[in-house]
Chain A
Amino acid sequence: MESTEQTARFTCTCGPSEETFRQIYLTAHKSWRIFWFIFAGAFLIYIGYHMTNRILWSLYAGEPLLTEPMFWLFIGELALVGFLTAWELTGPKRYAKKQLRRIAETYGGKDPIVRVSFCDDEMRIYNEASDSRMQMSYATIARCVETKTAFLLITQEKQFLSFPKDCFEGIDIPGVRAFFDAKCPNAKRNLKKADA
C-alpha cells in the first residue's frame, strides 16, 4: 500500500452513494432517454390531437364516445406510453437503490470504501472492505465524462468508474480535468472547460 502512495500523483477515496449510481445510470442511458422522451412527446401530441377531435365530434354530433373502439385504443396507447415514461423517469432511483442493496448484500452491510491512486501509468484500486487490489491502465478508458458532482471514466467494456469531485486528495478539480485530458488522449471526452 505504501509503495502505491509513493508513486501516486493523487488519490480519490470514496464509498458507494445513491448520487453516484444515479449519475452512472443517467450517463449510460442518455441516448435512450433522449430518444424515448422525444418519441413519447410526439406520441402524446398525436394522441392528444386525435382524442380532442373525437371528444369534440362526439359532443357536437351527439355520438357515444365510450362505444368507439378507436377511443379505447387511444386510451390504451396513452396508458402504455405514460407507464413506460414513468418507469424511465424513476429509472435512476430504482437502479441506485438496487445497486446499493447488492453492495450491502455482497459486503454483509459493510461500507466498501475504495481508494484509487492515480499513478503515471495506471490506476491502482484498493477496496478496503474486501482488502483487494487491482490495476487498470488508462488505455482501457474509452470515455471521460464530467457531471455536476463527479467524474466518470467508462472503459471499453462499458464498466463505470465514478469519482465524486469532493473525494480527491492532493489535487484541485481543474488539475483532475487536465490529468484525464493528458492520460486518456484517445478517449471520447466531455470534460468541462477549465473556467467552467
Chain B
Amino acid sequence: MHRVLLVDDDIELSAMLAEYFRQEGYMVSAVHDGEQGVTTALSGRHDIVILDVMMPRLTGVEVLRQIRQHSRMPVLMLTARGDDIDRILGLELGADDYVPKPCTPRELVARVRAILRRGSEPSAAPSDTAGTISSGPLTLWPKRLTAHWQGRPLELTATEFRLLETLARQAGQIVSKQTMSESALGRPLARFDRSIDVHISSIRHKLGIRADGRTWIQTVRGQGYLLVKD
C-alpha cells in the first residue's frame, strides 16, 4: 500500500482528500504547514508528497527546494490555475508533475497513480539486472530506478528517469512530446504545457555537453526530442 503525504493548509480539504485517497487504497497523512511538510517528507515514511504551492509562511516552492536537497522522492505540486511562474519554478526545482487547483479528487488520484506506477511493478532485488537499457554512455535499470551516466551514478527524479528511459528505448529516433507525456507523466499533453520541456532541460543539465558541443538530447522543432545515439 502506498503512503501519501498531503501538505496543504486547508484542513477541511485535506480531510476530504485523505478520505478519498483511503477509499482508493492509499495510506494518507496530512500536515498543514510547510515546516512540518519538510520534516515529515524527509522522514522517509512516504512514497509521494502532494504539495500545495500556496501556503502561508513557508511556501510550497520553498518546501520543495528543501525536500530536493535531501531526497529524490516523487513530488506532485498543487498549483494555482493560471499561475505559470509557480508551476515552471516547481518543475525546475524537480517536482515530478503538477495539478492545477481546484481539481477533482479523481484527477489527483490518477496523477498520483501515474507517478507511482513505476515503483509498483513487481519489486526487484537490487541485483536484478533484467530489462537493463543501454545507450552509449547511459545505462538504466528501470526496476531499481537507477541510472549510470559515463560510468557514474546519475541523480534523477522519478519523472526524469522515465523520460530518459522513454528516449533511451528509442535512442536515435524522434520521440514526440505526446508520447513522452503519456509514458512518463501518465497523462496526455495539455495545450501550452511546458512540463516536458522543463524536465528535459533539467535532464540535459545533468547529462552535460557532448564533445562536439551539442547536447545529448536534441530538440526537433515541432516534433519532439531525440537522444543522440553513438
The reply to whether chain A is a binding partner of chain B is no
